[in-house]
């Protein structure tokens, strides 16, 4: 798996991708990307909680919201190509809980599967400009036809 990322202020932009050896593995790989992201967010959220009730809330938030199918220009159509939104917590630099808004998009091109994501503090994600920027990130991906 390859990961490219950059950080601007409190926002992290990331693109991870990997090549599958067989077309039959593309769909399951897209599903696994979602499952692994959930698992990672759940683990990060649980690092910030101190009570059992808060842990179940962290688990629920890590389930995410399926934002539906997506289309990236030139992508290979796949049933698992979806947009996701997660509200989660992670420890900040001092270990205090930081509420995060994570947008993730899973898609494929040929035998490569991709996860594009934008990670930002929940407060920053509330502005309309922030939403426009996240959509611009997704729409910037193009594959040759």
Q: What does the pLDDT profile of the chain (145 residues) look like in tens digits? A: 999 999 988 889 999 999 999 999 999 999 999 999 988 888 877 766 555 555 555 555 566 889 999 989 899 999 899 999 998 887 777 777 888 899 999 999 999 999 999 998 888 777 756 677 788 888 888 887 6
Can you give the residue range of the structural domain that contains 35? 2-139
- Provide the whole-model pTM: 0.84
Predicted local confidence at residue 123, as pLDDT: 81
User: Is 75 inside any structural domain?
Assistant: yes
User: Is 144 inside any structural domain?
Assistant: no
Residue spans of alpha helices (H) in 10-144: 26-46, 52-63, 122-125, 128-139
Instruction: Give phi and psi for 122, each to the nearest 5.
Output: -55, -35
Euclidean distance between the first and the last CA atom of the chain, given in angstroms as a whole number: 24
Count of domains in the chain?
1
User: Is 20 inside any structural domain?
Assistant: yes
User: Is 16 inside any structural domain?
Assistant: yes
Predicted local confidence at residue 53, as pLDDT: 53
User: Is 145 inside any structural domain?
Assistant: no
Largest CA distance in the chain: 52
User: Is 116 inside any structural domain?
Assistant: yes
Q: Which residues contact 112 (CB under 8 A, 6 or more apart)?
A: 17, 18, 19, 20
Q: What share of the chain is helix, strand, coil (3-state, %, to 5)?
A: 35, 35, 25
Predicted local confidence at residue 1, as pLDDT: 92
User: Is 80 inside any structural domain?
Assistant: yes
CATH at residue 129: 3.40.1000
Q: Which residues contact 11 (CB under 8 A, 6 or more apart)?
A: 118, 119, 120, 124
Tell me if 141 sits within 8 A of 73, measured CB to CB: yes
Predicted local confidence at residue 130, as pLDDT: 64
Predicted local confidence at residue 61, as pLDDT: 55
Predicted local confidence at residue 48, as pLDDT: 67
């Amino acid at each position: 798996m390859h990961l490219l990322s950059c950080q601007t202020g409190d926002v992290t932009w990331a693109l991870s991708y990997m090549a599958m050896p067989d077309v039959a593995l593309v769909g399951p790989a897209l599903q696994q990307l979602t499952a692994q992201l959930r698992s990672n967010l759940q683990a990060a959220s649980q690092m910030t909680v101190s009570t059992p009730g808060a842990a179940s809330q962290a688990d629920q938030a890590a389930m995410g919201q399926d934002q539906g199918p997506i289309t990236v220009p030139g992508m290979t159509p796949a049933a698992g190509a979806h947009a996701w939104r997660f509200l989660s917590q992670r420890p900040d630099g001092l270990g205090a809980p930081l509420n995060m808004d994570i947008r993730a998009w899973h898609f494929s091109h040929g035998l490569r599967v991709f996860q594009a994501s934008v990670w930002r503090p929940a407060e920053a994600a509330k502005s309309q400009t922030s939403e426009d920027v996240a959509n611009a990130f997704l729409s910037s991906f193009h594959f040759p036809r």
